[in-house]
Chains A and B, each alone.
Chain A
Amino acid sequence: MAWGLPPLAVLLLLAVIVAPLSSAVRPVSDAHRSAAAELFTAFPDGSLGDLETTYEAVSTFKILGVQKDKSLDGKACKLASDTLSSSSSSAKDLFHAARISGVLGCSIDAGVYDDVASRLKAVIKDTNSLQEFYYSVGGLLSLKEQGHSVVLSDADSIFHAIKALSQSDGRWRYDTNSAESSTFAAGIALEALAGVVSLSDAEVDPSMIGVVKNDIVKLFGTIKSYDDGTFYFDEKNVDASEYKGPITTSASVVRGFTSFANAVSGKLNIPGEKILGLAKFFLGIGLPGSAKDCFNQIKSLSLLENNSVFVPLILSLPSKVLSLTSKDQLKVEVTTVFGSAAPPLRVNLVQVLGSDSKVITADKELQYDVDNNVHYLDIDALKIDVGKYSLVFEISLQDPEHETVYTTGGRNTETVIVTGLIKVDKAEIGIAENDAGTSESVEKLDLLKDKQISLSANHLQKLHLSFQLATPLGRTFKPHQVFLKLKHESGVEHLFVVPGSARQFKIVLDFLGLVEKFYYLSGRYDLELSVGDASMENSFLRALGRLELDLPEPSEKAPRPPAQAVDPLAKFAPQKEISHIFRVPEKRPPKEVSLAFTGLTLLPFIGFLIGLMRLGVNLKNFPSLPGPAAFASLFHAGIGAVLLLYVLFWVKLDLFTTLKYLGFLSVFLVFVGHRALSYLSSTSTKQKTA
């Protein structure tokens, strides 16, 4: 996850910078082991990822001594042996597979190893790319470490070929065609050169080795640093996809120079403080965030632990907070990066710098506790008060011979906070008249107890509160927070900072000037005093009591108090009940009434029929001849059909269907009716004329 590296590394490094001029590092501990176990998790199919990730995982676990599942080892070995046996594996794959097998001690057939060795030698012969040199030489070296006999016959020419890619500033190019040089490439080049020296049968040209040693010194000239003595390597971020970040780059250089130093005779001319700075850099990462960072950190630290240039010794404090009340001792540990014991040495506390830059020169030697491997000192003797201090330690090795083996960095600075109980006394609260200034009512408060007081005031008066703070050594104390809060019963709050002078802390609230600030809200105000500081063990938030405040009425233009924050979860509470108003159904008459009136409606029709009979209605004018008779009947039938159609329309049909049928019927009816009525009219005119 190269893209995750830069911001993460920068953030972690920033965390280191924030600690003012002190290195907040601790040696490798169980926390690192659990972080590694979490970061290198197995995939569902039981593997640890691809070849490179698998190698990183197994290597990290081995260095840290983390126990893991046997099946993971088996799977990794299988992956390695499959890769080594396969004829299509590249030099890079063979390199990683050989190293996995080296870490886990997989049992691989000797014949396979022979085959791999010859393939890697073939790659070396043909290539002129730095990475190919690195993979093949590294693979061969790994085979040799596993007991297989590998010898490089033309080591000098290979050495030359790799050296030819170096630049004048100590960095390396990747191959003859690329113009850009890289520090990461320098690291792998040095590792490859170290491999060549180890594998060669004859001694490599010493002058060439001297030149490379010089290159390493020049490379260390490009090192970057932070103010607290941390050193690291980094490259310009030209291409985001190629950028490796400081952790990977520094790790590559560490691997390179430590392996080269181990392979050649004679010491490298690298200053000890730079090696210590690199160790602090890797420890300063803390618990790494990605698997690759974890591998780089642990591998680099393991190489630095035993390197043949300078072994860095780390000074760290198990606890950075010392309490005067419990008479804590100042404890200091000096160990290697992995927490192993250091050679005999002395630790001196040279200087104590207070936060106000007051220097208390101490120059006290810390006593050594052999059983716990810790240097300690009673700080009572220093007579330091509560607060934040920078302690400057100096480490001196007891055996002068160790000076060439170990590096301690000379002076180390650490920050501690000394805490203690702060005395609060002479606390008074009272109400005074505005003009007079003399207190009308003064009450003594005991701020360390929970007694509530009750005061009342109007806008013409003043409230004053005062108290004194003293440190365990009797000096005046200025805490980070001294606040007086007035909270109205409606929820509106007002905060005031209590100003402090050399003698005491005193605040005077003149209500005449505060009327507008208080939004003209009269009523009960709860008083709260909070005093707090990092070095104060008894920081408190005390409810003092209440104040009945009488303020004048607000004018029209007075500002309204701000709306109090509504509980944001209130909208998930049950909502208001909505009562729907439905249309009240119309009152319908009872069925019997409706039926009665239906009957009544039919009565006039019966009356009509009776009347017709009374009038002597007859059908004499109905045509007798069959033709006209048929038409006349059809006419009546047609009218009847139309009326039936209307009834059907009312019952179930829709207008369009009805109109359709009506269309047919009306055509029929018109025709039939015309014939019937014209016959009737012709007979009646005949009667008239006749």
Chain B
Amino acid sequence: MPKAAADAKLLIQSLNKAYAATPTNLKIIDLYVLFAVVTALVQVVYMGIVGSFPFNSFLSGVLSCIGTAVLAVCLRIQVNKDNKEFKDLPPERAFADFVLCNLVLHLVIMNFLG
């Protein structure tokens, strides 16, 4: 229905405008999350095609992407200045946590990769 399509277009445009206002560092984090999720999707499609034979490898690949995406989301929450809860937390500290957790995650992933 043309009204619904026009409404959708209006909605997307307003979302884009609002999104443009977000600080750059948050946009970087969002881009990273998007990258991780797309990588995971590519792996799932591959598994769908060829079967899940080394299942541990599939799991470790997918979970590394999802894990790192989750950690990035946590980082975004903590770094966001508009977030009252984490007002006193310095962003460098949050970044340091992000790096540490990623390293631990990737160690486990590499062990499970086989």
Contact = CB atoms under 8 A, between A and B. Distances in A.
Interface of A: 586-589, 593-594, 597, 600-601, 603-605, 607-608, 611-612, 615-617, 639, 642-643, 646-647, 649-650, 655, 658, 662, 666, 673-674, 677-678, 680-681, 684-685
Contacts of A600: 42, 46
B107 to A, nearest CB: 7
A180 B27 CA distance: 125
B50 to A, nearest CB: 4
A660 B38 CA distance: 34
Given A608-B35, A612-B31, A587 B53 contact: yes
A662 B107 contact: yes
Contacts of B70: none
Interface string B17-38: 0000000100110011011001
A650 B111 CA distance: 7
21 contacts: A589-B51, A593-B50, A597-B46, A600-B42, A601-B43, A604-B35, A604-B38, A605-B35, A608-B34, A608-B35, A611-B31, A612-B31, A615-B24, A642-B103, A649-B110, A650-B110, A658-B107, A677-B92, A677-B95, A680-B92, A684-B91
B76 to A, nearest CB: 15
B51 A587 contact: yes
Nearest to B41: A604
Contacts, number: 80
B62 to A, nearest CB: 11
Residue from A587, A601, A612 whose CB has the most chain B CB atoms within 10 Å: A601
A587 B52 CA distance: 10
A588 B111 contact: no
A658 B35 CA distance: 28
Contacts of B92: 677-678, 680-681, 684
A674 B97 CA distance: 11
Contact of B39 (A605, A643, A647, A678): A605
Interface string B32-76: 101100110011001001110100000000000000000000000
A608 B35 CA distance: 6
A612 B42 contact: no
Interface string B85-112: 0000011110110010001001100110
A615 B53 CA distance: 40
Provide the main secondary structure of the chain B interface: helix
Interface of B: 24, 27-28, 31-32, 34-35, 38-39, 42-43, 46, 49-51, 53, 90-93, 95-96, 99, 103, 106-107, 110-111, 113
B46 A612 contact: no
A673 B34 CA distance: 27
B50 A589 contact: yes
A236 to B, nearest CB: 88
A608 B32 contact: yes
Given A588-B50, A597-B49, A615-B24, 5 more contacts: A600-B46, A607-B38, A608-B31, A612-B31, A616-B24
A589 B49 CA distance: 9
Contacts of B32: 608
A680 B107 CA distance: 27
B35 A607 contact: yes
A612 B110 contact: no
Contacts of A685: 90
A615 B39 contact: no
Contacts of A647: 110
A615 B51 contact: no
Contacts of B39: 601, 604-605
A673 B53 contact: no
Contacts of B53: 586-588
Given A587-B51, A616-B24, A677 B31 contact: no
Nearest to A659: B107
A681 B113 contact: no
B107 A646 contact: yes
A318 to B, nearest CB: 93
A643 B104 CA distance: 11
Contacts of B113: 650
A650 to B, nearest CB: 5
Given A586-B53, A649-B110, A655-B111, A604 B28 contact: no
A546 B24 CA distance: 110
A597 B38 CA distance: 13
A655 to B, nearest CB: 6
Nearest to B106: A646
A587 B54 CA distance: 11
Contacts of A589: 49-51
Contact of B90 (A588, A593, A604, A681): A681
Contacts of B96: 673-674, 677
Contacts of A646: 106-107, 110
Nearest to A653: B110
Contacts of B46: 597, 600-601
Contacts of B103: 639, 642, 666
Contacts of B91: 681, 684
Nearest to B54: A586
A611 B24 CA distance: 12
B58 to A, nearest CB: 12
Contacts of A611: 31, 34-35
B42 A601 contact: yes
Contacts of A586: 51, 53
B28 A612 contact: yes
A589 B53 CA distance: 10
Contacts of B50: 588-589, 593-594
A48 B105 CA distance: 92
Residue from B38, B43, B113 whose CB has the most chain A CB atoms within 10 Å: B38
Contacts of B111: 649, 655
A615 B31 contact: yes
A214 B86 CA distance: 139
A593 B53 CA distance: 15
Contacts of A608: 31-32, 34-35
A639 B106 CA distance: 12
Nearest to A665: B103
A38 B34 CA distance: 105
Contacts of A684: 90-92
B28 A615 contact: yes
List 3 A-B pairs, minimum CB-CB distance, nearest first: A589-B50, A608-B35, A677-B92
Residue from A600, A604, A611 whose CB has the most chain B CB atoms within 10 Å: A604
Nearest to A586: B53
Residue from B27, B53, B92, B113 whose CB has the most chain A CB atoms within 10 Å: B92
